[in-house]
Structure 1
Amino acid sequence: MLAAARPRVVAALAARFRDLDLAEDAFSAACEAALREPAPIRDPAAWLYVAARRRALDALRRADREARVLADQPEPDPVGDVVPFPEPIPDDRLRLLFTCCHPALAREARIALALRVICGVSVARIARAFLVAEPAMYQRLTRAKAKIKAANIPFETPPSREWQFRVGTVLETLETALAIAYRNAAGTGETGGLAPEVERLAVLLAELMPQEAEAHGLLALVCLVRSREAARVDREGTMVPLSGQDVAQWDIARIEAGRTALDRATAIGKPGPLQVQAAIHLVHCLRRETGQTDWAAILRLYDVLTLMRPTPVVAVNRALALARATSAEEGLAALDAIETGRLTQFLPFHAVRADLLASLGKVGEARAEYDAALALDPEPAEARLLAARRDALGS
């Protein structure tokens, strides 16, 4: 409950005090205080905001900056957890998202900072998403926050004329957040509320930027990915791969919402990678109607995505599509042709390679790849699937 309130509360604190470090420190202190409360807290977000605000004010007073803070209107003197949460808080998160995606910051730093501050993703998960070591990601985040403070970057949504310089990074941030949420098939724990928050922001962006094709593409992608949530984990808590999911559990309303959003994006006539990814997921979702997966169509879409985004991660996904559309031998050859580099830290690379090796009867090599994937700390549901597949290989 406390972790779920983090993005909303930190965004509100950062918007008020214009200091990301202060906001995060105050929130942490408020969480510690909440854990000591003897009675249940009815509204954790409101309680944490009030408690964190008090701690932030105390910190500023100790730093002899009271005048700058108290220039605002007098603060209420709340008791317990009955004070309503201040509004407009949802806009605070959008405002802070655009602040973190300021063009003065390096691209990866923008995305990482937004994921940490607005989405509440742990530094460890962000580091895995970027295939870098956790200490290196800490350094990037620290430098980014310092630059925001030094450059006096305003905590406000920029005028619409400036959105074009930030919207690409905003969309990429939400895409990355969705990918992190998707890794957690069970939808619990630290990232349990991440997918709904990404969807909320995607809806808002599509409404605010109706002529931005990729905003509709993101919304389509989110809807189609989330349409399969109910089928992603079995009763034992093991992740169910897409090919083995019960299509009757898929959410028809979300599939149709995704299809509608993709149609709107296509009508604008500005193709982009988010639209292509949404189209790939739509083809997967069509199995609910046809009973089959059109892997040839998916492979063609990955060919297009490779032209738009020629990254090793896309190449791994294309190799799997090639294997399904043609043969495991061709897919494995395409996988082995990729310049690995940081892919050794990319769990799906090892999982896909293990799957293809196992299908070719190369048990020893497949087992080694499953072990490599498990060593990269997968989410619990995925770890159970990988371990089960490895154990099914025998000795």
Structure 2
Amino acid sequence: MAARPRVVAALAAQLRDLDAAEEAFAGAAERALALAEAPRDLAAWLFVVARRRALDGVRKAAAEARTADALAQVTDMADILTLPEPIPDERLRLLFICCHPAIAPEARIALALKVICGLPVSAIARLFVVSEQTMFQRITRAKAKVREAGIAFELPPRRDWPARLAAVLLALELAFTAAYADAGGELSADLGEDLGGEVERLALLVAELVHEEPEALGLAALVLLARSRQAARLDDTGAMVPLSQQDCALWDFARITEARVLMERAAQAGRSGPYQVMAAIQLTHARRAFDGAVDWGAVVRLYDVLLALRPSPMVSLSRALALAQVEGAAAGLAAVGELPAERLALARPWHVARADLLAKTGRTGEAAAALDAALALGPPRAERLWLERWRAGLT
């Protein structure tokens, strides 16, 4: 439900225990589902009920008396959710806390995606292209590290923000990646909120808070550019529409303009980074609405820069697709063939890219097999409809 991240963040700030916060919220949510009529302020109701459950647990255990006393003094949710400046958002504050340098980098991101964004472990595992069990273990270890290291649930001084900012930005990037991959909004429906819209809000808030950091501006621009295409991403049947086939007239030009302004501000800092480059790639695609075509040569060059800044198989995959637009499908397929197939076996984009390039080089049977592999990975409904339609056309 939409209240989950807010309430869990507020509870974690009081309990100083992420597991206890999630457990208390789960118990309160069960009670809410049994109600004949939803409370007028569901978030506040959930917080109060969860807080009482946690307080009862503390008292019964006759432990952490100081925490119990502190909880007993809280009378309503407003006391918890009124945050000290400079971060006026409880979810964002907990995001900075979860991204503590004492936690392993990948574990920080996974923990943030689970606790703050509410993503299921299965979705987080797909983002990292690992098994669900592996990701569950990472999150469990991260929570244990928070307890064992005595990590404070207070916002660090502003001078310490740079040590956490990269992880905060990456968590927001991956949360948006999950939201964007779900064109039909199934994940958002399960979470009870528009995940893409919430990440956009948080990205813009971070950009405002650390406006001197060009990469924060770059991420906000990247999210705005991707969100600008939201209205064009589904056809009348609910199937996903690939970027190259979208009707540019449906794009949100106000978001595109806002993104360009942010990118110009970022460029003034004279310090380029991955998010600025990714935003530049998306802006190059956005120019199709004005120029009628995509400058694929520029896209390839931007991916070259991105590979130098942040090399990864997924970036190489995207470059291969852009290269195919410039030098032909055979060249793109050769580039894809150089990627680590075993590592990418759980990544749907890899199978879809191979299907596209195989089909364009006349290898229809192999393309169909690649689409079958993508469908076997359980894509969201909108993507599945698109893939099934494509697959049917190959037979």
Q: With the length of structure 2 as denominator, give the TM-score of the two structures.
A: 0.94
Question: Match of 1:288?
Answer: 289
Question: Match of 1:273?
Answer: 274
Equivalents in 2 of 1:229, 1:27: separation in Å? 32
Q: Does 1:10 align with 2:31?
A: no
Q: Secondary structure at the match of 1:154?
A: coil
Question: Match of 1:28?
Answer: 26
Question: Match of 1:331?
Answer: 332
With 87-96 and 324-333 compared, the bigger mean Cα shift is at 87-96
**Alpha-carbon deviations, 1:265-284, whole Å to 9, x = none?**
11111100000000000011
Equivalents in 1 of 2:394, 2:119: separation in Å? 35
Question: Match of 1:349?
Answer: 350
Letter in 2 for 1:207: E
Structure 1 residue 39: deviation in Å?
1.2
Equivalents in 2 of 1:106, 1:76: separation in Å? 33
Structure 1 residue 85: deviation in Å?
8.5
Letter in 1 for 2:102: A
Cα RMSD (Å): 1.7
Equivalents in 2 of 1:73, 1:379: separation in Å? 41
Equivalents in 2 of 1:42, 1:84: separation in Å? 15
Structure 2: stretches of 5+ with no match in the other structure: none
Q: Percent identity?
A: 54
Q: Secondary structure at the match of 2:118?
A: coil
Equivalents in 2 of 1:85, 1:367: separation in Å? 57
Question: Match of 1:186?
Answer: 184
Letter in 1 for 2:39: I
Question: Match of 1:117?
Answer: 115
Structure 1 residue 74: deviation in Å?
4.8
Q: Does 1:102 align with 2:100?
A: yes
With 214-223 and 37-46 compared, the bigger mean Cα shift is at 37-46
Q: Does 1:202 align with 2:203?
A: yes
Question: Match of 1:168?
Answer: 166
Within 5 Å, give how 1:194-273 maps onto structure 2: 194-273=195-274
When residues 376 and 73 of structure 1 are mapped into structure 2, their CA distance, relative to the original with a 3 A threshold, is closer
Question: Match of 2:311?
Answer: 310
Structure 1 residue 84: deviation in Å?
6.4
Q: Secondary structure at the match of 1:292?
A: coil
When residues 146 and 298 of structure 1 are mapped into structure 2, their CA distance, relative to the original with a 3 A threshold, is same
Equivalents in 2 of 1:54, 1:383: separation in Å? 44
Q: Is this contact kept in 2: 1:46–1:85, CA < 8 A?
A: no
Q: Secondary structure at the match of 2:70?
A: coil
Q: Is this contact kept in 1: 2:222–2:278, CA < 8 A?
A: yes
Q: Is this contact kept in 2: 1:45–1:85, CA < 8 A?
A: no
Question: Match of 2:155?
Answer: 157
Q: With the length of structure 1 as denominator, give the TM-score of the two structures.
A: 0.94
Equivalents in 2 of 1:262, 1:336: separation in Å? 34
Letter in 1 for 2:95: L
**Alpha-carbon deviations, 1:186-226, whole Å to 9, x = none?**
23423552212211221221122121110000111111111
Equivalents in 2 of 1:56, 1:210: separation in Å? 38
Q: Secondary structure at the match of 2:62?
A: coil
Q: Is this contact kept in 1: 2:296–2:322, CA < 8 A?
A: yes
Structure 1: stretches of 5+ with no match in the other structure: none
Q: Secondary structure at the match of 1:27?
A: helix
With 39-48 and 288-297 compared, the bigger mean Cα shift is at 39-48
Q: Residue 137 of structure 1 is aligned with which of 126, 135, 138?
A: 135
Q: Is this contact kept in 2: 1:4–1:190, CA < 8 A?
A: no
Q: Is this contact kept in 2: 1:14–1:20, CA < 8 A?
A: yes
**Alpha-carbon deviations, 1:60-118, whole Å to 9, x = none?**
2222136223423755777xxxx869532653222211111111111100000000001
**Alpha-carbon deviations, 1:317-337, whole Å to 9, x = none?**
101111122211111110011
Q: Is this contact kept in 1: 2:74–2:80, CA < 8 A?
A: no
Q: Is this contact kept in 2: 1:6–1:120, CA < 8 A?
A: yes
Q: Residue 126 of structure 1 is aligned with which of 124, 127, 141?
A: 124
Count of residue pairs brought into register by the alignment: 388
Question: Match of 2:390?
Answer: 389
Equivalents in 2 of 1:385, 1:73: separation in Å? 51
Q: Secondary structure at the match of 2:81?
A: coil
Equivalents in 1 of 2:103, 2:244: separation in Å? 40
Equivalents in 1 of 2:260, 2:311: separation in Å? 26
Q: Is this contact kept in 1: 2:58–2:68, CA < 8 A?
A: no
Structure 1 residue 250: deviation in Å?
0.6
Q: Is this contact kept in 2: 1:101–1:169, CA < 8 A?
A: yes
